[in-house]
Amino acid sequence: MFDIKEEDTFWCTADIGWVTGHSYIIYGPLANGATTVMYEGTPDYPHRGRFWEIIEKYGVNIFYTAPTAIRTFMKWGETHPEKFDLSSLRLLGSVGEPINPEAWMWYYNIIGSKNCPIVDTWWQTETGSILITPLPGLTKLKPGSVTHAFPGIEADIFDEDGQSIKRGAGNLVIKNPWPSMLRTIYGDKKRYIKEYWSKYKNVYLTGDGAKRDEDGYLWLLGRLDDVINVSGHRIGTMEIESALVDHRAVAESAVIGKQHELKGQAVSAFVTLKETVKSSSKLADELKKHVVKKIGAIARPEDIIFTAELPKTRSGKIMRRLLRDIAEGRILGDTSTLADPSVVNALKDKYEHQEG
């Protein structure tokens, strides 16, 4: 999936303690005889071009990072990567969550100079390795789509009754065993069976939503528990987030559903703007209209909360659970895995002030 060769220098930017870290920083590249880069630090120290400086210095050929990082680079602007020679790159990878088409195009155009295929990978800690991904040079790419299952993997989309959906959205499942699959949950085999194997007989439920388009390509919609139910309509948070990031002013967004006495749930959007843009009530209204234009009136956000930072884990994943706690006025859940726990308290104060 990475077309990796012994003479390659491979850089996965994940935290070494996460499964992406030890699998795709240590085991994978070294088992294939390649050189691997390990970096202990942040993308913005001592300057915002740090990643691109490392690529230039070590002649990195394959660069594997998260959509969250890519959207941060978009927010900072193109001037930072333009200062460095990135011509050694021949392949780019994306991991961690669905990548929105605009971030995909920025990655392709600015970092890859329109010369590098992007391997957008889907997998989980539970799967132990990538299961859905384009194959570089073989798969025709679509910005934002993970394309097809890796050869030998039987991925499908099921409805609630276990019927395969040939076109449209549903529950992503895997129908056959694979070498690195999870076998149990330590000390809790009943939970393992309940979480992954109880909904469909002999089929692994991933917990992610996905859709299949008219060409048979797969598009990830995010976690099933992140689906918002507005007046009986099920809307994926990823779809609304992608619509918001499609707007010229937006660098990143996180969407959650909060309790609403009439609709059941209402859409709340936490939005990070590009650094050249200032927040305003006029812009908030413009973003709401933009979502309506892209998706429909049912997806219109009830709230737009502008924030400089979103709560993220050290591997770059947005903690939407904590955003729901903030929006619904609950006591905040566990924040120990956050890269910067202070972000949550600042956001909580801002949200309460805006609501007041």
Helix axes 320-327, 342-355, angle to 10 degrees: 30
* Cα 137 from chain centre: 23
Task: Cite the DSSP H helix spans in 198-316.
Answer: 237-245, 281-294
Q: Where are the domains of the chain?
A: 9-120, 155-221, 227-355
How many residues are there in the chain? 356
CATH domain 155-221 topology: Luciferase; domain 3 (2.30.38)
> For residue range 218-262, what is the model confidence (pLDDT) as tens digits?
999 888 877 787 877 778 788 899 899 999 999 999 998 888 777
Q: What is the CATH number of domain 9-120?
A: 3.40.50.980
Q: From 3.30.420.40, 1.20.1260.10, 3.40.50.1000, 3.30.300.30, which CATH number describes the 227-355 domain? A: 3.30.300.30
The DSSP 8-state label assigned to residue 223 in this structure reads E
pTM: predicted TM-score of the whole model, two decimal places: 0.81
Q: What is the pLDDT of residue 135?
A: 97
> For residue range 32-89, what is the model confidence (pLDDT) as tens digits?
999 999 998 889 999 999 999 999 999 999 999 998 889 889 989 999 999 999 999 9
**Is residue 53 classed as helix, strand or coil in its secondary structure?**
helix
**Is residue 127 classed as helix, strand or coil in its secondary structure?**
coil
